[in-house]
Amino acid sequence: MIKIGVIGYGYWGPNLVRNFAEIPGLMVACVADLDTKKLEIVQKRYPGVKTTTRFEDMINDPTIDAIAIATPVSTHFDLGMAALKADKHLWLEKPITQTVAQARQLVDEAEKRKRVLLVDHTFIYTGAVRKMRELIKSEDLGSIYYYDSIRVNLGLFQHDVSVISDLAVHDFSILDYLLEEQPIAVSAVGINHFPGTPENLAFITLFYDSGIIAHVNVNWLAPVKVRQILIGGSKKMITYNDLEPSEKIKVYDKGISFTDDPRKIYEMRVGYRTGDMWAPQIDGSEALKIEGGHFVDCIVNGKVPITDGLLGMRVVQLIEAATRSMNEHGRSVKLKGMPMRHGSVIE
Amino acid sequence: MIKIGVIGYGYWGPNLVRNFAEIPGLMVACVADLDTKKLEIVQKRYPGVKTTTRFEDMINDPTIDAIAIATPVSTHFDLGMAALKADKHLWLEKPITQTVAQARQLVDEAEKRKRVLLVDHTFIYTGAVRKMRELIKSEDLGSIYYYDSIRVNLGLFQHDVSVISDLAVHDFSILDYLLEEQPIAVSAVGINHFPGTPENLAFITLFYDSGIIAHVNVNWLAPVKVRQILIGGSKKMITYNDLEPSEKIKVYDKGISFTDDPRKIYEMRVGYRTGDMWAPQIDGSEALKIEGGHFVDCIVNGKVPITDGLLGMRVVQLIEAATRSMNEHGRSVKLKGMPMRHGSVIE
Amino acid sequence: MIKIGVIGYGYWGPNLVRNFAEIPGLMVACVADLDTKKLEIVQKRYPGVKTTTRFEDMINDPTIDAIAIATPVSTHFDLGMAALKADKHLWLEKPITQTVAQARQLVDEAEKRKRVLLVDHTFIYTGAVRKMRELIKSEDLGSIYYYDSIRVNLGLFQHDVSVISDLAVHDFSILDYLLEEQPIAVSAVGINHFPGTPENLAFITLFYDSGIIAHVNVNWLAPVKVRQILIGGSKKMITYNDLEPSEKIKVYDKGISFTDDPRKIYEMRVGYRTGDMWAPQIDGSEALKIEGGHFVDCIVNGKVPITDGLLGMRVVQLIEAATRSMNEHGRSVKLKGMPMRHGSVIE
Amino acid sequence: MIKIGVIGYGYWGPNLVRNFAEIPGLMVACVADLDTKKLEIVQKRYPGVKTTTRFEDMINDPTIDAIAIATPVSTHFDLGMAALKADKHLWLEKPITQTVAQARQLVDEAEKRKRVLLVDHTFIYTGAVRKMRELIKSEDLGSIYYYDSIRVNLGLFQHDVSVISDLAVHDFSILDYLLEEQPIAVSAVGINHFPGTPENLAFITLFYDSGIIAHVNVNWLAPVKVRQILIGGSKKMITYNDLEPSEKIKVYDKGISFTDDPRKIYEMRVGYRTGDMWAPQIDGSEALKIEGGHFVDCIVNGKVPITDGLLGMRVVQLIEAATRSMNEHGRSVKLKGMPMRHGSVIE
């Protein structure tokens, strides 16, 4: 039985505790938060779980095997490093750290100590994203032309990180998982509508060597919640609506056929193809529960998580580059290749 | 009775003829097209209408009062100028011309000859866009924060102009009409997925001096048709879904309240406000029919069209600048102010 | 070239004329209506078409081959019989007549004179209904369990016939076409909310010998328009949403598996099966155009229409029986078998 | 602190325990179930809660103040009566009992012992239903014309009660709460598609003295989940879509105006009125949590629950009458008035 301690019982922490409590082989031993009101809620809900306002107690407790950190990103590096140095396995909320350099240090420390380091890019563990990867891998879609995501809603305004760190980060991880190709450049624009706050709306475009273009529209100030991704391929196309209770993924047998016959240069060289639509059945399990099981599996069997520290680091590189481009009103920023493990799947 | 000749019976021409035929005071006298197959269709549908493959006959016909041009944009300038020089009133499909310089010449020629020059930016005449303008003018929305449009579908691929000229042009005209403020810079990225064709997918951002940001997502290669605009204001927000048969416009009494109290600098300074949603009834008349009536009214009563040549010229300036930015991978391109008439309304 | 005269240019007549005008081999020669205002509209739209307020002129005109009747149902029998007696082919709006006895006379007269008698049950000619028949015929759905239709909207209140004659009539014809089995009993309830008017809301249930149950919910006083049909089968199920611009038909690989093992009598004997959803591509042609072409084909090649007078008569039998049941607050009314041709398809 | 014991940890029991655990003043002391596997789940989730396979232990435990019963309906009467006789307050899942006679006995016993008896008609405690009642009470809708509900999905097939007891029961309680008028007759039809099982599909119509008609369409064998209610009034109309994450309730300023001027008897006497749509903000709290708080409030302050035993009894009367009508293929069954308390609101 792996005993885990959770630091932070704010917005996301309760979801971690609730899911961890259901996972075979995992036991929530302790919850830490600076706010005693929140610890009281833990006590009412889970009478058997210890609580503390001092995270050090948890880190120094030798009966604790793993630590999950669900605190603001500015604290990730220090808390994560302390946990690793105490030889704990580490579950870190996204984004892994504020900078690539910090991420690199955590990755190295985890490797040195042979500890599991999982970054909680939850979407990777949803049935929908796994199904999309399966479709892309099987070449059902043909060559990928574009990825176009809208991820908008009202709030939750954050005062320390921009909407890119909060929302676009999901697309950065999904793209990394789906395409197994890293972008070569990024152009981003954004705006903060309130003085002294981070950007609350941004539009980010990623360019890939293979010709793929990816676009991400994120906004904390939208009247409606939208979670919609379009993926266009040469053979088929996908829509992914995460708010749809069933049929989240729809595969369209639609596209165009293009002739590059030079004799047709003055004619229409594009033909349309419209066929059936198909919505594959999708595993509806809660992603966090699958992810928690995967974390246990990695610890017990010495595996590397699908959402490992390197994935976390690549995502931070994109956040940094997009932020730089945004500060320069859309100027394209080049990206260099980062280390990457290939082909992870959930078993 | 104003007699009108229509040049071009391809994709849009049939809509012009069908609507013109229903407008009191207007009579379709003649249709010109190079394709005799298309002229045969005209003859079966409208036995009383003359047809010709020679547009010059129509332009030289002294019984014709006005000419509507629904041909590829590359022909707009020559055909439009010929019509004006023959002292015809002129209805031009969007975009008015390929260049600002050409647009300027048409505007000047029309002014000199006191002819009506209407550019067919049809959306301006829809009940939905008119209602949005009414809401913005009445300050129901408060200060405008952003405009975010998605306008994607499969096809119609064009081989002479990019998706910006074809689809983003609608948003450029709507923005001009709604905001009565001109953007100061534009950043655009886009891609053509097939060699030798114009861009089939583009993302354009417009920056305004007042702090408004506008974003337009256009794509000819999407599996589903989307026509969705979000407008965020400090008091209320709008969604406009043009594919919704009723309730195209929804007004959300939602937003955030922001305190800039410096003592709260380390706390959350944003509060949420969510209230009712309201879908005002909208005039469902076909926009082209209203626009046709407006054209007649301008001719008969010497008025200037809401979608006059200057509006058409401002739109072309945006197309040109967005295209330049797109060629430079998103580099921000500055815009200079253009002449503008204020406050037109449909009476 | 078949010359057709259209009697009635009210709500549906304009659709007939517009579609007939596009059909090869068919020519609208004349339109009759008592309202000269409506005839003026015809003249502006179709300068070549004759108009008259005297339908007799049209019926007595030997150059007219066929008559389409789009007038209130109370006039169908007299007008239809007059047209047949003048040896015209006959296109009759639904329902064919007010009574089964009248329908029988028209059928006999048409047969005697070898004239084509088509009843305009338009839905039968839609791509969606044809696709559903194809799916049912191919036994993709397995045994049919039920048909459940909602057909509600605001208006058009009629003052001479109830909502059953106006709306449920569509389901009666679709059921006849899909199932090729006649119901054995009907139970209906309904209400008129305004004194002296026909029922504006009704719920009708049809019982079939094979165990199928069909339910139809019709309402002229609904705030939203709904056109939704569910069809449950032992293998698969269908939803048909006629207001959906694309993907009108969705086929669900969902159902239950049932064990009648008597040893399991105290346990749950039902298992669930949920699989993919599939939306077949559907012919999007305007149904009236296909129907018009079919009418021409029947006249020219001596065929019997899919929606022949017998189908029209069976539908009237259902209207009569449902109305009787409604007057007795839902008491089940038995139906006797009616003549039926099997297996018509659109070629 | 009120200590509650929960009998039954099958489908609904876990929701009760989870919500009760969050309610101030309420403590889940014990859970009983015959299945020890289910009790193990309780122990992992809630280490502090006692579990037992013997419900008698719970009923005989003097430290337990209240019992919640979430077992099959056939056991409600015996278990409920045992709990009341042990002077426990009683929370009973819907429907209260199998027969009106049993319900009457529970009501009398609770009254005699001055115990709170709440029947868990959860929908009454949703923000949406409370808002609809507010709208009806305020006469915003004018006179009510009809209530039309669709409540269909795939499963959960039950082997002891029909779909009426399972699903239509929700509408029976909502109607009782909204209208404060009892129906005078019911007509129902239904079918079981599998031998030896209860009806899995039914259509029920309720008739009211005031002219209101209510219709309920319930089906366990539908490929899609639908929870849609239309309410038509003389001034306004409502749609209530319970699956909509926001804007569950929409109020349409639509209707017809009717003239009964006898001189217009041969003309259209109905005019249409279409105006704005409005979606009021709705309390999104989980209904079970509100209901649990209400239960505590009734116990502590000696109040009568909104969903008291009398409401439960009236609902059972409707189930009995609808079942009788269904067995007679839709024959209308008269209802007699039942005792009713008026005007309960959630404080």
What are all long-range contacts of A342-345, with beta carbons under 8 Å and residues at least 24 apart? A342/A180, A343/A180, A344/A304, A344/A305, A344/A306, A344/A308, A345/A306
Q: Where are the alpha helices (DSSP H) in D166-308?
A: 169-179, 287-301
Which of the pair, B173 or C341, is modelled with greater confidence? B173
Q: Which residue carries 């129902």 as its tokens?
A: D188
pLDDT of residue A260: 63
CA–CA gap between residue C42 and residue C18 (Å, rounded): 10
Is residue B278 within 8 angstroms of chain D, CB to CB? yes
Asked if residue B270 has pLDDT above 70, the reply is: no
- Paired with D3 in beta bridges are D27
Is residue C230 within 8 angstroms of chain D, CB to CB? yes
The minimum CA-CA distance between D261 and chain B, rounded to whole Å, is: 29
Would you call C270 and D219 a contact, using CB atoms and an 8 Å cutoff? no
Strand residues in chain C grouped as ranges (E) = 2-7, 26-32, 50-52, 66-69, 89-93, 117-120, 144-154, 185-191, 201-207, 213-219, 221-233, 237-241, 249-258, 270-279, 333-334
The minimum CA-CA distance between B159 and chain A, rounded to whole Å, is: 6
Asked if residue B332 has pLDDT above 70, the reply is: yes
Asked if residue A87 has pLDDT above 70, the reply is: yes
Is residue A237 within 8 angstroms of chain B, CB to CB? yes
Asked if residue A213 has pLDDT above 80, the reply is: yes
Chain A hits for B155, Cβ within 8 Å: 256, 270, 272
The minimum CA-CA distance between D151 and chain B, rounded to whole Å, is: 25
Strand A237-241 vs strand B201-207: parallel, antiparallel, or unpaired? Answer: unpaired
**A200 pLDDT band (50/70/90 cuts)?**
very high
Nearest CB among D22, D44, D48 relative to A47 is that of D48
Question: What are the C-alpha distances in Å from A100 to residues A174, A339, B108, B298?
Answer: 19, 12, 57, 62
Q: Are D276 and D6 in contact (CB under 8 A)?
A: no
Question: What are the C-alpha distances in Å from A300 to residues A26, A292, A293, B272?
Answer: 11, 12, 11, 44
Chain A hits for D47, Cβ within 8 Å: 46-48
Picking from B30, B42, B43, B46 by the largest number of C CB atoms within 10 A of its own CB, the best residue to mutate is B46
Q: Which two tokens stand for residue A42?
A: 């833990």
Would you call D258 and C185 a contact, using CB atoms and an 8 Å cutoff? no
Domains, chain B, ordered by start: 2-115 (3.40.50.720), 127-284+315-334 (3.30.360.10)
Q: Is the omega angle on the peptide bond into residue C14 within 30 degrees of 0, that is, cis? A: no
- Paired with B109 in beta bridges are none
Is residue C146 within 8 angstroms of chain D, CB to CB? yes
Surface-to-core class of residue C33, CB atoms within 10 Å of its CB (0-12 exposed, 13-18 middle, 19+ buried): buried
CA–CA gap between residue D200 and residue D221 (Å, rounded): 7
A76-85 and A100-113 helices cross at what angle (nearest 10)?
10
Contacts of B107 (CB under 8 A, 6+ apart): B117, B308, B309, B310, B312, B313
Give chain B's mean pLDDT.
92
CA C217, D185, C198 angle in degrees (round to 5)? Answer: 45
- What are D117-132's pLDDT values in tens digits? 999 999 999 999 999 9
Chain D hits for C215, Cβ within 8 Å: 203, 217
Helix H or strand E segment including B221: strand B221-233
Nearest CB among B246, B277, B280 relative to D247 is that of B277
Asked if the interface predicted TM-score (ipTM) of this complex is over 0.90, the answer is: yes
Is residue B346 within 8 angstroms of chain D, CB to CB? no
What are all long-range contacts of C82-87, with beta carbons under 8 Å and residues at least 24 apart? C82/C56, C83/C59, C84/C109, C84/C110, C84/C113, C84/C115, C84/C117, C85/C109, C85/C113, C86/C59, C86/C60, C87/C113, C87/C115
CA–CA gap between residue C168 and residue C219 (Å, rounded): 9
Nearest CB among D157, D232, D238 relative to C221 is that of D232
**A143 pLDDT band (50/70/90 cuts)?**
very high
Picking from A1, A17, A40, A45 by the largest number of D CB atoms within 10 A of its own CB, the best residue to mutate is A45
Chain D hits for A224, Cβ within 8 Å: 246
Of B227, B225, B226, B282, the C-alpha closest to B251 is: B282
Asked if residue B45 has pLDDT above 90, the reply is: no
The minimum CA-CA distance between D36 and chain A, rounded to whole Å, is: 17
Is residue C244 within 8 angstroms of chain A, CB to CB? no
Would you call A154 and B196 a contact, using CB atoms and an 8 Å cutoff? no
Chain C hits for D191, Cβ within 8 Å: 146, 211, 213
Contacts of B63 (CB under 8 A, 6+ apart): B3, B29
Of A106, A65, A74, A103, the C-alpha closest to A296 is: A65
Chain D hits for B277, Cβ within 8 Å: 246-247, 278-279
Q: Are D47 and A46 in contact (CB under 8 A)?
A: yes
The minimum CA-CA distance between C121 and chain B, rounded to whole Å, is: 25
D79: helix, coil or strand? helix
Asked if residue A347 has pLDDT above 80, the reply is: no
Strand residues in C26-79 grouped as ranges (E) = 26-32, 50-52, 66-69
Contacts of D287 (CB under 8 A, 6+ apart): D122, D123, D124, D125, D126, D127
pLDDT of residue D195: 81
Is residue B148 within 8 angstroms of chain A, CB to CB? yes
CA–CA gap between residue C205 and residue D188 (Å, rounded): 10
Is residue A184 within 8 angstroms of chain B, CB to CB? no
Q: Which two tokens stand for residue A233?
A: 């391929």
The minimum CA-CA distance between C346 and chain A, rounded to whole Å, is: 21
**B310 pLDDT band (50/70/90 cuts)?**
very high
CA–CA gap between residue C161 and residue C218 (Å, rounded): 13
Would you call C276 and A278 a contact, using CB atoms and an 8 Å cutoff? yes
Which of the pair, A96 or D263, is modelled with greater confidence? A96
Q: What is the mean pLDDT of residues A6-27?
A: 94
Chains that touch D (3 or more CB pairs under 8 A): A, B, C
- Which residue type does D127 have? G
Q: Are B105 and B314 in contact (CB under 8 A)?
A: no
Would you call A277 and C274 a contact, using CB atoms and an 8 Å cutoff? no
Asked if residue D220 has pLDDT above 70, the reply is: yes
Q: What is the CA D119 to chain-centroid distance, rounded?
A: 8
Query: Nearest residue of C to residue D193 by CA position?
Result: C145
A175: helix, coil or strand? helix
pLDDT of residue C264: 54
The minimum CA-CA distance between C136 and chain A, rounded to whole Å, is: 18
Would you call D255 and C221 a contact, using CB atoms and an 8 Å cutoff? yes
The minimum CA-CA distance between C113 and chain B, rounded to whole Å, is: 32
- pLDDT 10s per residue in chain C (347 long)? 999 999 999 999 999 999 999 999 999 999 999 999 999 999 888 878 999 999 999 999 999 999 999 999 999 999 999 999 999 999 999 999 999 999 999 999 999 999 999 999 999 999 999 999 999 999 999 999 999 999 999 977 777 889 999 999 999 999 999 998 999 999 999 999 988 889 999 999 999 999 999 999 999 999 999 999 999 999 999 999 999 988 999 999 998 877 666 555 445 556 777 899 999 999 999 999 999 999 999 999 999 999 999 999 999 999 999 999 999 988 999 998 888 775 555 55
Give, as one character, the DSSP assignment of residue B245: S
A247 φ/ψ angles, rounded to the nearest 5 degrees: 50, 50
Picking from C19, C46, C49 by the largest number of B CB atoms within 10 A of its own CB, the best residue to mutate is C46
**A269 pLDDT band (50/70/90 cuts)?**
low
- What are A161-177's pLDDT values in tens digits? 899 999 999 999 999 99
C100-112 and C309-327 helices cross at what angle (nearest 10)?
170
CA–CA gap between residue C297 and residue C312 (Å, rounded): 19
Would you call C277 and A274 a contact, using CB atoms and an 8 Å cutoff? no
The minimum CA-CA distance between A253 and chain C, rounded to whole Å, is: 9
Instruction: Give the count of Cβ contacts less than 8 A between chain A and B.
Output: 167
Chain D hits for A48, Cβ within 8 Å: 47-48
Q: Where are the alpha helices (DSSP H) in chain A?
A: 13-20, 36-45, 55-60, 76-85, 100-113, 127-137, 163, 169-179, 287-301, 309-327
Q: Which residue carries 């919505």 as its tokens?
A: A279
pLDDT of residue A271: 72
pLDDT of residue B269: 57
- R_g of chain B, CA atoms, integer Å: 21
